[in-house]
Amino acid sequence: MKSDLPAGVTLDEGRGGLPRLTVATDLCTAELYLHGAHLCHWQPRRHPHPVLWMSQASLFETGAPIRGGVPVCFPWFGPNAAGPAAPAHGVVRIAEWALDRVETERDGTTAIVLSLASDAGTRAAAPQDFSLAYAVRLGEALSMALTVTNPAGAPLTFEEALHTYFTVSDVRQVSVEGLAGATFVDKTDGGKRKTQDDPVITISSETDRLYLNTATTVTLTDPGFGRRITVSKTGSLSSVVWNPWIAKSRAMPDFGDDEWPAMICIETVNALDNAVTLRPGASHTMTAAISLS
Ligand code: BG6
């Protein structure tokens, strides 16, 4: 693969010795680890701040998730109710993905395709058989497309997320729009179902909301950085808005105690009522497109 890489893309050992693709083109800089197919950095050239947030306390270790960037969650979202010892957010964010292709598109966008199929390692925690393809396109905009194929003879039911962490100037000053009227599961209030009455979401305490049955575009307005981030999606009916605030940040060993003001997650998801079931041989694609204005 190494010799086939286009100009501006290198494959080397990143933090913890893990294989990492580094992109430095006229359009953007980016870093993607094969561990978890984890995008850790993306910044269009014309923008002064990174778009994706990374924790300074993140681990970069086989068997552990990376904290920040875009974890790929599959085949469950959050803790596994049926197997509390199984890793949170599924098994693929801690698996080593294969790098299938890297190409430069006509406009200079770098297109990366990775894949992962169930094997003895994933089956240890997740019995399901699956085949995943993940396409990441890095340019002035970012797009991610996760395609799940069911290779088995029985239906495959799964949850999934592109768990995007965004860098913000101060989470207390940002506003999130696009979810008005949606029902959400409030994980900070015992999982109660509530309605998003206020069209503008602001963050003033721990926030952990799984919005259901919503396909809408979500925007994040950050006056401090003078930018708006737009998250549009297809094949996804759930969205998550998450900031751990003070106590939860302290409780997470791979999250700095004082890092919470600088991040917010707006995640493109299918979970709970929106879990997907695929018949044998069928495929499903979920996409998230991120742009800045
Ligand atoms: C969010 C969940 O998506 O991810 C939160 O809604 C969770 O409940 C957060 O705390 C981080 O999860 P993890 O497994 O990466 O610590």
- Written as six digits, the tokens of 123 are 């089956």
The whole-number pLDDT of residue 4 equals 85
Q: Indicate if ligand 1 lies below 6 Å from the C-beta of 267.
A: yes
**Number of domains comprising the chain:** 1
* Ligand 1 atom with least separation from CA of 252: 16
Of these residues, 35, 38, 41, 163, which one is catalytic?
Answer: 163
Whole-number Å distance, alpha carbon 36 to ligand 1 midpoint, is 16
Closest to 220 in 3D by CA, of 245, 198, 196, 202: 202
The whole-number pLDDT of residue 1 equals 53
Q: Indicate if ligand 1 lies below 6 Å from the C-beta of 160.
A: no
Q: Indicate if ligand 1 lies below 6 Å from the C-beta of 187.
A: yes
Q: Indicate if ligand 1 lies below 6 Å from the C-beta of 89.
A: yes
Whole-number Å distance, alpha carbon 78 to ligand 1 midpoint, is 6
Closest to 237 in 3D by CA, of 166, 291, 184: 184
| DSSP E strands, 187-292 | 192-195, 200-201, 207-212, 218-222, 227-234, 238-243, 263-270, 276-278, 283-292
Q: What's the whole-model pTM score? A: 0.98
The whole-number pLDDT of residue 3 equals 56
75 preceded by a cis bond (ω within 30 of 0): yes
* Ligand 1 atom with least separation from CA of 163: 3
Whole-number Å distance, alpha carbon 240 to ligand 1 midpoint, is 10
Report the distance separating Cα 146 and Cα 193, nearest Å: 28
Whole-number Å distance, alpha carbon 10 to ligand 1 midpoint, is 31
Q: What is the CATH number of the domain that holds 254?
A: 2.70.98.10
Q: Which residue has the tokens 């561990």?
A: 35
Residue 241 belongs to what H/E stretch? Answer: strand 238-243
* Ligand 1 atom with least separation from CA of 208: 6
- Written as six digits, the tokens of 79 are 């803790």
245: left (phi over 0), alpha (psi -120 to 50) or beta: left
First CA to last CA across the chain, in angstroms? Answer: 35
Q: Indicate if ligand 1 lies below 6 Å from the C-beta of 159.
A: no
Write out the chain's pLDDT in tens, 293 residues. 545 899 999 999 999 999 999 999 999 999 999 999 999 999 999 899 999 999 999 999 999 999 999 999 999 999 998 888 899 999 999 999 999 999 999 999 999 999 999 999 999 999 999 999 999 999 999 999 999 999 999 999 999 999 999 999 999 999 999 999 999 999 999 999 999 999 999 999 999 999 999 999 999 999 999 999 999 999 999 999 999 999 999 999 999 999 999 999 999 999 999 999 999 999 999 999 999 99
Alpha helices (H) along 56-196 = 120-123
Range of the domain at 89: 2-292
Nearest CA owner, ligand 1 atom 6: 208
**How many other CB atoms are found less than 10 A from the CB of residue 281?**
10
Is 163 a catalytic site residue?
yes
Work out whether the CA dihedral 50, 26, 145, 16 comes out positive or negative. Answer: negative
Whole-number Å distance, alpha carbon 51 to ligand 1 midpoint, is 19
Whole-number Å distance, alpha carbon 208 to ligand 1 midpoint, is 8
The whole-number pLDDT of residue 2 equals 47
Report the distance separating Cα 204 and Cα 171, nearest Å: 8
The whole-number pLDDT of residue 265 equals 99
The whole-number pLDDT of residue 85 equals 87
The answer to whether residues 211 and 275 touch, using CB atoms and an 8 Å cutoff, is no
Probe ligand 1: pick from 67, 77, 208, 264, max atoms within 8 Å of CB?
A: 208
Is 89 a catalytic site residue?
no
Q: Indicate if ligand 1 lies below 6 Å from the C-beta of 78.
A: yes
The answer to whether residues 280 and 150 touch, using CB atoms and an 8 Å cutoff, is yes
* Ligand 1 atom with least separation from CA of 187: 8
Report the distance separating Cα 143 and Cα 136, nearest Å: 6
